Homo-oligomer: A and B are copies of this chain.
């Protein structure tokens, strides 16, 4: 259950029972149902979330009312509207459940405390942040260098499970093409 966070952290730094209990005390556990919002555009962003189970979408609603998928978050992913979280400003993005979801949330105050009081965790956060940065750059490169069709095939190859778990509309929105175009790509 919450072993999961421990296991996840221990991929980077080892923890004993006491240390893990200390870490865990900075998080609060929450459960949400399909369609619930964890973060809503325009509201303050209180938490950064570690996903224990379920599936989330991080979305941006544009001026025309269209919805764009900034990213998905599944088991063992960290997600938030990071810009608003770190700046303690209002959310520009929304975070919503695609499936029933369990998460551990950490407030910015606790994030900063934990990093300051326990250098192993500061180290862990740095590793995670660097990895996230690298993943984002990879996605940017895919927009620069690949056609919609190539991005589709790459996603199919790297995350085939998403194609069963998600409606095509959301995949299209993640890839940056219309639903109709995606449908034509798969044939």
Q: Which residues of A contact B (CB under 8 A)?
A: 60, 62, 66, 68-71, 82-83, 86, 115-116, 119, 122-123, 125-126, 129-130, 132-134, 136-141, 143-145, 173, 176
Interface residue from B68, B69, B132, B144 paired with A133 (Cβ < 8 Å): B132
* In contact, A123 and B115 (Cβ under 8 angstroms): yes
* In contact, B126 and A70 (Cβ under 8 angstroms): no
- Which B residues are in CB contact (< 8 Å) with A139? 136, 140
Closest B residue, CB atoms, query A137 = B136
Closest B residue, CB atoms, query A127 = B86
* In contact, A82 and B133 (Cβ under 8 angstroms): yes
* In contact, B134 and A126 (Cβ under 8 angstroms): no
Interface residue from B122, B143, B145 paired with A126 (Cβ < 8 Å): B122
Closest B residue, CB atoms, query A125 = B126
Q: How many angstroms between the C-alpha atoms of A35 and B125 in the bound complex?
A: 36
Number of copies: 2
Q: Most B CB atoms within 10 A — which of A68, A136, A137, A176?
A: A137
Closest approach, in angstroms, between the C-beta of A82 and any C-beta of chain B? 5
* In contact, A70 and B123 (Cβ under 8 angstroms): no
Interface residue from B68, B82, B119, B138 paired with A130 (Cβ < 8 Å): B82
Closest approach, in angstroms, between the C-beta of A60 and any C-beta of chain B? 6
Closest approach, in angstroms, between the C-beta of A173 and any C-beta of chain B? 8
Q: How many angstroms between the C-alpha atoms of A145 and B63 in the bound complex?
A: 10
Once A119-B122, A130-B129, A136-B136 are accepted as A-B contacts, the answer to whether A141 and B68 lie under 8 Å apart by CB is yes
- Which B residues are in CB contact (< 8 Å) with A86? 130, 134
